[in-house]
């Protein structure tokens, strides 16, 4: 066969699959592959095809040896990037085990065959994978509603005995204006504006059933809303009131505080070993648990009622231990 255009496409696919920075092929190997595939070629034709592929943007490099060797250097994703993405897919609790492996197969096609084998071989699966695709399919419905600027309707459920989902509010449908999707606490959540809810409401995607986009327009988005800043205030996806909290912490925890509240949080020096900061926090039991994990090296200075809530939680825990 002598179709030059078909041969060019075949050569491109061959180089993408069989070569990378660690694996290269000679012109003789290329000619042998093309002939096995039914295409006639000689060195002059191979060199001309490689030149055309380079002109089209394919980054083909050559190793100058006794017989020059060719390989694809730059790809859409670097090898390390592919590994990071594959690990994230395996770790996701939104995807089922089967769906994760299907996505990794697709991801593998963006590297060479050697990278694909490496991606399949390395990395352990999350033992807590999703048992169904509910959350994944709900993402599609939510994104469609956001794109169209429509309200969203769904039945919200809770887990009961034997891991079964049972509708809340007797199956009454929730109608909300979707704001954004956020991944937190190993799950995807819809952050939405509910007309009867103070502030924004959080809904876990794997607890949402029969999700539909409505014809009714959603509430106009708050242009001042900053998703990244909002995420810093959230210690739990359970509803909680936002408060400005004054914390003190030891010098050794400086990095931990920046990790939690962001590098731009205002920090003051109290003494040689102690700093303080003011930050907006959604006050909830997980927030108090976060403070408690530092064993007294982080203290709540204000507001007084938040300090009192922390003390009451500690007292309740002591009483529970004594009653055992």
pLDDT per residue rounded down to tens, the chain (324 residues): 668 899 999 999 999 999 999 999 999 999 999 999 999 889 999 999 999 999 999 999 999 988 999 999 999 999 999 999 999 898 888 888 889 999 999 999 999 999 999 988 876 666 667 778 888 999 999 999 999 999 999 999 987 766 678 899 899 999 999 998 888 767 889 999 988 777 788 898 989 999 999 999 999 888 787 877 777 777 666 666 778 999 999 999 998 898 888 888 889 999 989 999 999 888 888 888 889 889 999 999 999 999 998 888 888 877 777 766
pLDDT confidence of residue 197:
74
Q: Which two tokens stand for residue 175?
A: 């109608």
In this prediction, residue 237 carries a pLDDT of 61
Residue 202 main-chain phi, psi, to 5 deg = -115, 135
Q: At what angle do helices 79-91 and 113-121 cross, to 10 degrees?
A: 30
**Distance of alpha carbon 237 from alpha carbon 184, whole angstroms:** 8
Residue with tokens 């700093």: 275
* Residue 71, pLDDT score: 97
Sign of CA dihedral 81, 84, 90, 95: negative
3-state secondary structure of 248: strand
User: How far apart are alpha carbons 283 and 306 in whole angstroms?
Assistant: 8
Upper half-sphere CA count for residue 286 (Cβ side, 13 Å): 12
pLDDT at residue 55 in the model: 96
Angle (CA) 184-189-193 rounded to 5° is 130
Residues in the chain: 324
Q: Show Cβ contacts of residue 309 under 8 Å, excluding neighbours closer than 6 positions.
A: 283, 288
Number of Cβ within a 10 Å radius of residue 267: 16
User: Cα 209 vs. chain centroid, distance in angstroms?
Assistant: 22
Residue found under tokens 């399949």: 120
For residue 5, the tally of other CB atoms under 10 A from its CB is: 7
Calpha distance 36→48 (Å, rounded): 20
Residue labelled with tokens 């914390």: 247
H helix runs in the chain, sequence order: 4-18, 27-36, 43-55, 79-91, 97-108, 113-121, 134-148, 227-233, 254-261, 285-292, 304-322
pTM over 0.75: no
- pLDDT value for 115: 93
Alpha-carbon span 5 to 262, nearest angstrom: 54
Q: Which residues contact 11 (CB under 8 A, 6 or more apart)?
A: 30, 34, 46, 49, 50, 53
Two structure tokens written together for 313: 């939680």
Q: Locate tokens 């084998």: which residue?
A: 117
Helix axes 27-36, 4-18, angle to 10 degrees: 120
């Amino acid at each position: 066969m002598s179709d030059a255009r078909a041969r060019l496409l075949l050569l491109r696919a061959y180089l993408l699959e069989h070569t990378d920075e660690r694996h290269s092929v000679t012109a003789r190997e290329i000619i042998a592959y093309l002939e096995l595939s039914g295409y006639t070629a000689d060195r002059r034709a191979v060199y001309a095809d490689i030149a055309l592929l380079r002109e089209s943007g394919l980054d083909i490099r050559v190793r100058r040896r006794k017989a020059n060797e060719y390989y694809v250097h730059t790809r859409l994703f670097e090898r390390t990037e592919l590994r990071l993405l594959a690990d994230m897919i395996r770790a996701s609790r939104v995807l089922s085990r089967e769906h994760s492996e299907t996505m990794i197969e697709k991801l593998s096609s963006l590297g060479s065959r050697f990278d694909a084998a490496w991606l399949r071989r390395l990395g352990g699966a999350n033992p807590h994978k999703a048992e169904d695709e509910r959350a994944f399919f709900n993402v599609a419905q939510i994104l469609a509603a956001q794109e169209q600027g429509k309200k969203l309707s769904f039945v919200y459920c809770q887990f009961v005995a034997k891991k079964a989902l049972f509708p809340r509010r007797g199956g009454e449908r929730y109608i909300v204006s979707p704001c954004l999707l956020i991944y937190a606490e190993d799950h995807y959540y819809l952050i939405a504006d509910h007309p009867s809810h103070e502030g924004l409401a959080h809904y876990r995607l794997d607890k949402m059933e029969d999700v539909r986009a409505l014809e009714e327009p959603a509430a106009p988005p708050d242009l001042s809303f900053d998703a990244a800043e909002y995420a810093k205030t959230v210690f739990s996806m359970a509803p909680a009131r936002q408060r400005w909290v004054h914390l003190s912490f030891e010098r050794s925890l400086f990095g931990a505080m920046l990790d939690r509240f962001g590098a731009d949080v205002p920090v003051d020096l109290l003494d040689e070993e102690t700093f303080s900061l003011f930050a907006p926090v959604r006050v909830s039991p997980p927030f108090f648990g976060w403070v408690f994990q530092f064993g007294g090296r982080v203290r709540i200075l204000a507001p007084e009622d938040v300090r009192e809530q922390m003390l009451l939680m500690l007292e309740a825990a002591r009483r529970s231990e004594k009653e055992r």
